[in-house]
């Protein structure tokens, strides 16, 4: 369900999101994720519905990866 933002707020958010996506660390993580996904698929692993967790170094369910293993994202880092 998308956020209910005014047109100006939505445009501002789009700019912020794009700026964050273009940072060096995000580009590096995306490239690493693509390499690892391609290698995992090539080796025959089933990674459908999973994301690579850069902190733990393994593929996890999207829910577990984005929720910091049930601890919430405020305590992450």
Q: What's the rounded Cα separation, in Å, for the pair 11 and 15?
A: 6
pTM of the model as a whole: 0.67
Is 55 among the domain residues?
Answer: yes
In a domain, 45, yes or no: yes
Judge whether 73 lies within some domain.
no
Q: Domains in the chain: how many in total?
A: 1
Q: pLDDT at position 11, please?
A: 96
Position 1 in a domain? no
pLDDT by residue for the chain (77 residues), tens digit each?
688 999 999 999 999 999 999 999 999 989 999 999 999 999 999 999 998 888 888 999 888 888 777 777 777 66
In a domain, 3, yes or no: no
| pLDDT score of 65 | 82
Residue 55: per-residue pLDDT: 83
Q: For residue 58, what are the contacts with CB-CB under 8 A and spacing of at least 6? A: 52
Q: Give me the pLDDT at residue 50, please.
A: 92
- Give residue 45's domain range: 8-66
């Amino acid at each position: 369900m998308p956020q209910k933002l005014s047109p100006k707020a939505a445009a501002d958010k789009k700019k912020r999101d794009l700026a964050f996506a273009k940072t060096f660390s995000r580009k590096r993580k995306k490239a690493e994720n693509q390499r690892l996904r391609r290698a995992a698929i090539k080796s025959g692993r089933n990674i459908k519905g999973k994301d690579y967790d850069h902190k733990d170094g393994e593929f996890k369910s999207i829910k577990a990866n984005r929720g910091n293993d049930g601890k919430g994202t405020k305590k992450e880092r």
